[in-house]
Amino acid sequence: MEIKNYSTVSNSFYKVVHAEATIEELISAIKAADLSVPEKYAYQAFCYAMMAKEATGLLQKGKYIQQYGEFIGKSIVIKSDCYEARLMRFIVEKRLTEVEFVSHKQVDMEFLAANVSSIKDDCLKHITLKALANV
């Protein structure tokens, strides 16, 4: 799939998801971008989830997971149909193992499947299609 239409943040997100960039690059892109509040919270939540994945200490890992939950929750409370928040929550919850939580996988999968065709950002569309294909 050729990636044409995208924002700097979604491109950085795409590269992080495909292990072509570091989480620090995504953080820099988020800081530089003019995002809506729900989108910014969603991207920040994803960063915390990635940092939790990479953390070695249990205390640090727990703090990052808590921050992820806080930021993804804020994003969805502010805008329940925030595409980025639903995508990131779906990706994160899909990979969680040995953790008890309220699963949003099914509702997010249905939301993403229903809305992916209207997304103009090719990076987000590509990530969504790949995530939905690997369910």
Query: Full-prediction pTM beyond 0.75?
Result: yes
Q: What domain range includes position 32?
A: 8-133
pLDDT tens digit string along 73-131? 999 999 999 999 999 999 998 887 666 667 888 999 999 999 999 999 999 999 999 99
Q: Is residue 90 part of a domain?
A: yes
CA atoms of 114 and 49, how far apart (whole Å) = 25
DSSP annotation of 96: -
DSSP code per residue over 11-44 = HHHHHHHTTSS-HHHHHHHHHHS---HHHHHHHH
Structural domain total, the chain: 1
Name the maximum alpha-carbon separation found in the chain. 41
* H or E, element range at 132: helix 122-133
Residue 3 lies in a domain: no
| 115 found inside a domain | yes
What does the DSSP 8-state code read for residue 87? H
Greater pLDDT, 47 or 100:
47
